[in-house]
């Protein structure tokens, strides 16, 4: 009779079509009032010497039923998942959701390009305050009280002796004050001048550079700046140095590159000259060294400074500097 149980169970399992059917079958056999449970209970009513053998048979059947139920269950679940995947399948014709990505601002792009070039030449990167003491912005850089750059028209004064820095050159003084030579760094940052038209904004960006050691000469200045300009604008770009004047360098130079827009033929941007002024530079004035406690007999060095907006305008053919700061997304997307 107990052998028949196995057969009956297998027949019934055969007709199970859903997880609900299966659950009912499980209750029917293994539940508290189930067939197997009843069989186990009835063990007490048979003769003691038959109990072990009979008990084992029931337990074997129980285990058999459990295994069959389990495997059928996982089979049914798999079938159900397959049906589900088929019924709510992906609609690949639906258009995707797009995330708009930001871009690096063209000024930051040029800044990091320039920074990369100098860092690879062994320069470190330094910073200084934008609200600066008159002393660092002018005095220590040998810009005397009556110098035109100190005119109220150019400089934003916070008080008599505090200004918004008009250039990044004060970082030279700050770094040299706290560090002994050799020094070799660039200092990018914002500068401020009371000026506004299509090539001037009251805030703009500069990069300063300084290299001081024993035996630094004008050749070093030329070599480093030429290497920089060739990496920045291309190896064939002509470079020329013109005599100039800055209070904090002696001698001073202005550095031009052959016009990248007309290749030197002469155009509106280079005003027909074929050349574009890119940076100011020179050998550090001994007076600046004295102000920071360096001995000008022992050390020499060169400094340079350039405007980032100007370089970006030339590189990207932008004719109005104000476009950089209007945050018009149509403009910014182009870089
Ligand atoms: N500070 C100057 C300016 O804002 C630029 C400059 C010229 C920086 C010559 C220098 C330099 O370090 O040597 O116009």
pLDDT tens across the length of the chain (335 residues): 677 888 999 999 999 999 999 999 999 999 999 898 888 888 888 888 888 988 898 899 999 999 999 999 999 999 988 888 888 777 778 888 888 888 899 999 999 999 999 999 999 999 999 999 999 999 999 998 888 767 766 899 999 999 999 999 999 999 999 999 999 999 999 999 999 988 899 999 999 999 999 999 999 999 999 999 999 999 999 999 999 999 999 999 999 999 998 999 999 889 999 999 999 999 999 999 999 999 999 999 999 999 999 999 999 989 899 999 999 999 998 98
Whether residue 265 contacts residue 238, with contact meaning beta carbons closer than 8 Å, is answered with no
pLDDT at 152: 67
> 33 and 118 share a domain?
no
Interval between CA 185 and ligand 1 midpoint (Å): 15
Task: Take residue 274 and report the two structure tokens written for it.
Answer: 């074929």
Sheet holding 239-246, edge to edge: 124-125, 183-192, 203-213, 300-307, 275-284, 249-258, 239-246
Is the same domain home to 192 and 312?
yes
The verdict on 45 and 137 lying in the same domain is: no
In angstroms, the CA 273 to CA 155 distance is 31
Report if residue 96 sits inside a domain: no
**Nearest C-alpha neighbor of 322 from the set 166, 203, 207, 206:** 203
Report if residue 97 sits inside a domain: no
Ligand 1: residues with CB < 6 A are: 167, 169, 208, 246, 249, 280-282, 303-305
Distance (angstroms) between ligand 1 centre and the Cα of 254 equals 9
CA angle 202, 207, 210 (to 5 degrees): 135
Query: Considering the domain boundaries, does residue 37 fall inside one?
Result: yes
Is 268 part of any domain?
yes
**Positive or negative torsion for Cα 9, 10, 11, 14:** positive
| Triad 276, 210, 178: Cα angle to 5° | 150
CB atoms < 10 A from the CB of 261, how many? Answer: 13
Q: Which of 56, 86, 116 is the last residue of a domain?
A: 86
Question: Within the chain, where are the H helices?
Answer: 2-14, 19-30, 35-41, 51-87, 106-120, 134-137, 170-178, 218-233, 286-292, 308-315, 329-332
Domain count within the chain: 2
Q: Is residue 291 domain-resident? A: yes
* Residue minimizing CA distance to atom 7 of ligand 1: 280
Residues 46 and 125 reside in one and the same domain: no
99: in domain: no
Residue 168 CA: nearest ligand 1 atom is 1
Output the pLDDT for position 95. 83
Nearest CA to ligand 1 atom 12: 304
DSSP-derived letter for residue 164 is E
Same domain (yes/no): 50, 122: no
**C-alpha of residue 83 to centroid of ligand 1, in Å:** 74
Is the separation of the CB atoms in 141 and 252 below 8 Å?
no
- Nearest-CA residue for ligand 1 atom 4 is 167
For residue 249, report the distance from its CA to the centre of ligand 1, in Å.
9
Of the candidates 20, 53, 86, which is a domain's last residue?
86
The distance of Cα 264 from the centroid of its chain, to the nearest Å, equals: 37
CB neighbours of 101 closer than 8 A, spacing ≥ 6? Answer: none
Of 305, 306, 310, the one to substitute when testing ligand 1's pocket (max ligand atoms within 8 A of C-beta) is: 305
Considering the domain architecture, whether residues 165 and 70 belong to the same structural domain is answered as: no
How far does the centroid of ligand 1 lie from the alpha carbon of residue 115, in Å? 17
Kindly give the number of the ligand 1 atom that is closest to the alpha carbon of 167. 4
| pTM score of the predicted model | 0.72
Q: Determine the distance separating the centroid of ligand 1 and the alpha carbon of 221, expressed in angstroms.
A: 14
User: Same structural domain for residues 186 and 319?
Assistant: yes
> Nearest C-alpha to atom 6 of ligand 1 is from which residue?
305
β-strands 162-164, 131-133: how paired?
antiparallel
Range of the domain at 269: 106-332
Question: Would you state the structure tokens that stand for residue 225, as one six-digit string?
Answer: 């700046």
- The residue whose CB lies within 8 Å of the most ligand 1 atoms, and thus the one to mutate among 167, 188, 210, 252, is 167
Pair 322, 289 in one domain? yes
The answer to whether position 234 is within a domain reads yes
DSSP, collapsed to helix, strand or coil, labels residue 85 as helix
Collapse the DSSP code of 126 into the 3-class scheme (helix H, G, I; strand E, B; otherwise coil) and give the result.
coil
Statement to judge: residues 62 and 180 lie in one domain: no
How far, in Å, is the centroid of ligand 1 from the Cα of 304?
Answer: 6
Indicate whether 68 and 113 sit together in one domain.
no
57 and 202 share a domain? no
Same domain, 127 and 43: no
Give the per-residue pLDDT at 43.
Answer: 87
Residue where a domain stops, chosen among 86, 116, 139: 86
CA of 281 to the centre of ligand 1 (A): 6
Is position 93 within any domain?
Answer: no
CATH of the domain at 274: 3.30.930.10
pLDDT of 146: 84
Spatial separation of the C-alpha atoms in residues 117 and 248, rounded to whole Å: 25
Give whole-number Cα distances, 37 to 85, 147, 156, 218, 268, in Å. Answer: 39, 108, 96, 103, 101
Q: What share of the chain is helix, strand, coil (3-state, %, to 5)?
A: 45, 20, 35
């Amino acid at each position: 009779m107990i052998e028949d149980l196995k057969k009956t169970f297998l027949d019934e399992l055969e007709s199970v079509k859903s997880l609900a059917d299966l659950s009912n079958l499980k209750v029917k056999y293994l539940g508290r009032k189930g067939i197997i449970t009843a069989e186990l209970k009835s063990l007490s009513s048979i003769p003691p010497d038959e109990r072990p053998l009979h008990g084992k048979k029931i337990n074997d059947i129980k285990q058999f039923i459990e295994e069959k139920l389990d495997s059928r269950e996982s089979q049914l679940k798999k079938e159900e998942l397959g049906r589900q995947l088929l019924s709510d399948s992906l609609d690949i014709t639906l258009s995707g959701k797009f995330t708009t990505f930001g871009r690096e601002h063209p000024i930051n792009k040029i800044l990091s390009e320039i920074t990369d070039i100098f860092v690879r030449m062994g320069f470190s990167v330094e910073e200084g305050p934008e609200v600066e003491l008159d002393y660092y912005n002018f005095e220590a850089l040998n810009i005397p009280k009556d110098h035109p750059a100190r005119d109220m028209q150019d400089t934003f004064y916070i008080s008599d002796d505090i200004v918004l820095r008009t250039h990044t050159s004060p970082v030279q003084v700050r770094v040299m004050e706290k560090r002994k030579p050799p020094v070799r760094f660039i200092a990018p940052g914002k500068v401020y001048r009371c000026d506004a038209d299509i090539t001037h904004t009251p805030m703009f960006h500069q990069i300063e550079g300084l290299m001081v050691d024993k035996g630094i000469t004008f050749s070093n200045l030329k070599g480093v700046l030429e290497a920089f300009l060739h990496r920045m604008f291309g190896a064939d770009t002509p470079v020329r140095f013109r005599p100039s004047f800055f209070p904090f360098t002696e001698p001073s130079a202005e550095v031009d590159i052959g016009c990248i827009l007309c290749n030197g033929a002469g155009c509106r941007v280079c005003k027909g000259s074929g050349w574009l002024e890119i940076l100011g530079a020179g050998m550090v004035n001994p007076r600046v060294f004295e102000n920071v406690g360096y001995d000008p007999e022992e050390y020499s060095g060169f400094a340079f400074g350039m405007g980032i907006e100007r370089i970006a305008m030339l590189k990207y053919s932008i004719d109005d500097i104000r476009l950089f700061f209007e945050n018009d997304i149509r403009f910014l997307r182009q870089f």
